[in-house]
């Protein structure tokens, strides 16, 4: 069925841009950080030129309150960055959800060999992009390739809390945190990834949860290109909880098992106190029995809460949730496409194409 713009499904699935398909598409969310993004594009183009790679760039404008200047992201000349697509969202949805929308847009609109997900502030080093691509090409099965931070540059306080979070994450999910968002997504695996509902909560956790083949390479964090980090303590906590929420069913079962074991131990302790009091002449303080009984009641309540939590999580699996491939179009207001490489430039002004087509019309 044609869309309101008069495009057929085939035309929507294959972009109107008539240029050689790039090896890579670079995906980066941006919220007001256009100066850093512009500097990153320059660095990225230099790295791509050195390694003879070509790439398109998809920038997801996550509801920025300041508009990018054309000279920042669009009307600039690059040698190996072929096109820049700026996907403008209707509202701010957050870093992880912007990545989910960007990945689904690329799956629906662009063609490439792989998609590199990276931050726009420069802390993900552009020089690692060819390394991700090389690892992907060399590994049988063409897996996801994530950048694993070998050295972190954050403050000591941040590293302490991050270490505590990693311990908690392993205890609740049995998975060790090794990676962030910086990664390469094989294009042929995008179709399965955009059908993973957990992608809306946390990109990296969704990849691991969906049991995709994964490889890693060691990297070092680079310096921010402009400005100061905007993520505060609350944002970091929400980010961590979002990652763990992907494993909500496993966490519920583990909490239920742990609290059940504690209740059994409490009953054994209470039984031991009663047995000592009835069968021996040892004096037992009166508060010990009351404390044991109160502890047993509290642990029993924790079992009930864990049980209710587990049933809520399990029942939620049968509900209709956000599905990126089906629902992403609701959040896109418009897309600006700029041809930036000399042999891809067009004489007309950058195109602004409204792609907000409801799922019913896209079917």
Instruction: Convert the pLDDT of each residue in 333-359 to its tens digit.
Output: 999 888 776 665 443 333 434 444 334
User: Are residues 260 and 358 both part of a single domain?
Assistant: no
The overall longest dimension of the chain from CA atoms, in Å, is 99
Question: Do 222 and 99 sit in the same domain of this protein?
Answer: yes
Does residue 241 belong to any structural domain of this protein? no
Name the residue range of residue 281's domain: 249-316
Domain final residue pick, 316, 336, 353: 316
Distance CA 358, CA 328 (A): 9
Say how far apart CA 344 and CA 20 lie, in whole Å. Answer: 9
> Is the residue at 140 inside a domain?
yes
Q: Residue 31's CB: how many other CB atoms inside 10 A? A: 20
For residue 106, the domain's CATH number is: 3.90.550.10
Q: What is the pLDDT of residues 173-187, one digit of tens each?
A: 777 777 889 999 999
Under 8 Å CB-to-CB from 352, ≥6 apart: which residues?
Answer: 334, 335, 336
Residue where a domain terminates, one of 316, 331, 349: 316
Q: Assess whether 336 and 308 both reside in one domain.
A: no
- Residue 243, in any domain of the structure: no
Residue 118, pLDDT above cutoff 50: yes
DSSP for residue 175: -
User: How many distinct structural domains can be found in the chain?
Assistant: 2
Confidence of residue 216 (pLDDT cuts 50, 70, 90): very high
Kindly state whether residue 114 falls inside one of the protein's structural domains: yes
Higher pLDDT among residues 274 and 106, named by residue:
106
CB atoms within 10 A of CB 255: 18
Shared-domain flag, residues 203 and 278? no
- Report the pLDDT value the prediction gives residue 241, as an integer from 0 to 100: 74
Lowest mean pLDDT across 76-90, 138-152, 301-315: 301-315
* 222 and 169 together in one domain: yes
The whole-angstrom separation of Cα 29 and Cα 98 is 6
**C-alpha span between 167 and 3 (Å, rounded):** 49
Instruction: Tell me: do 36 and 106 sit in the same domain.
Output: yes
């Amino acid at each position: 069925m044609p869309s309101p713009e008069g495009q057929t499904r085939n035309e929507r699935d294959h972009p109107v841009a008539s240029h050689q398909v790039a090896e890579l598409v670079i995906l980066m969310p941006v919220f007001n950080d256009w100066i850093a993004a512009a500097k990153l594009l320059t660095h990225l183009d230099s790295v791509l030129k050195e390694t003879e790679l070509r790439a398109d760039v998809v920038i997801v404008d996550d509801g920025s309150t300041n508009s990018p200047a054309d000279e920042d992201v669009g009307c600039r000349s690059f040698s190996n960055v072929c096109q820049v697509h700026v996907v403008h969202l209707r509202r701010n949805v957050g870093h992880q959800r912007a990545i989910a929308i960007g990945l689904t847009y690329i799956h629906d609109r662009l063609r490439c060999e792989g998609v590199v997900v990276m931050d726009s502030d420069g802390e993900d080093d552009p020089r690692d992009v060819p390394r991700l691509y090389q690892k992907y090409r060399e590994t049988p099965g063409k897996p996801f390739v994530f950048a694993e931070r070998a050295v972190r540059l954050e403050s000591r306080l941040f590293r302490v809390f991050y270490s505590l979070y990693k311990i908690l994450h392993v205890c609740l999910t049995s998975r060790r945190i090794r990676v962030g968002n910086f990664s390469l997504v094989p294009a042929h695996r995008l179709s399965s990834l955009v059908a993973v509902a957990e992608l809306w909560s946390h990109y990296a956790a969704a990849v691991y949860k969906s049991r995709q083949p994964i490889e890693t390479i060691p990297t070092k964090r680079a310096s921010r290109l402009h400005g100061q980090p905007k993520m505060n303590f609350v944002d970091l906590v929400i980010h961590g909880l979002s990652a763990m929420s992907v494993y909500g069913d496993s966490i519920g079962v583990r909490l239920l098992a742990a609290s059940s074991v504690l209740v059994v131990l409490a009953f054994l302790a209470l039984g031991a106190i009663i047995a000592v009091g009835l069968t021996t002449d040892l004096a037992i303080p009166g508060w010990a029995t009351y404390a044991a009984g109160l502890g047993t009641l509290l642990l029993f309540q924790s079992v009930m809460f864990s049980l209710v939590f587990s049933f809520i999580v399990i029942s939620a699996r049968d509900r209709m949730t956000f599905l990126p491939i089906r629902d992403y179009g609701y959040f896109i207001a418009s897309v600006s496409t700029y041809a930036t490489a000399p042999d891809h430039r067009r004489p007309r002004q950058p195109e602004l194409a409204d792609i907000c087509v409801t799922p019913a019309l896209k079917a």
